[in-house]
Amino acid sequence: MENLENEDRFMIYNVAGKSIMVEAKLGEEFDFICSKKECGERLELHGVIKVVTPQEYRKVLKETLNEHEEFQVIETLNPIPLIFEGTVNGEKVKLPAETVQNLARRFVRNFLDL
């Protein structure tokens, strides 16, 4: 597993049907607010991004894909099992996440065919 303690930007998927980039430290609680102007609706996130077991990650990923098929592309996520666990607008959630660095690598690999 790569060195995650230096990561400070993560993508969280299926935040009210959206992909949201947040600045946070792995394993540390954070708050993030996305305005209605930026996200189409006000989104308030509170929680933590953490490494989980592969089994828990697959369960969270499956629930996300069942809820929103358009997130199928995240099935190609790097195998580091990261999730956001916390609340979105007060509702408890567990959502798939990845580092922005891994997102960039995945984009290059899958879409630019490099």
Neighbours of 13 (CB within 10 A): 23
- Does residue 3 belong to any structural domain of this protein? no
Domain region containing 86: 9-111
The answer to the question of residue 49 being in a domain is yes
Is 2 among the domain residues? no
Q: Is the pLDDT of residue 92 over 50?
A: yes
Residue 76 lies in a domain: yes
pLDDT confidence bin for 1, thresholds 50/70/90 = very low
pLDDT tens digits, residue range 17-75? 999 999 999 999 999 999 999 999 999 999 999 999 989 988 998 888 888 777 776 66
**DSSP secondary structure string, 54-113?**
HHHHHHHHHHHHHH-GGGGGGGG--S--EEEEEEETTEEEEEEEEEHHHHHHHHHHHHS-
pLDDT tops 50 at residue 107: yes
Q: Is residue 4 part of a domain?
A: no
The answer to the question of residue 40 being in a domain is yes
- Residue 25 within any structural domain of the chain: yes
Count of the separate structural domains present in the chain: 1
Q: What is the mean pLDDT of residues 93-108?
A: 81
Q: Is the residue at 102 inside a domain? A: yes
With a CB cutoff of 8 Å and minimum separation 6, the contacts of 8 are: 23, 24, 25
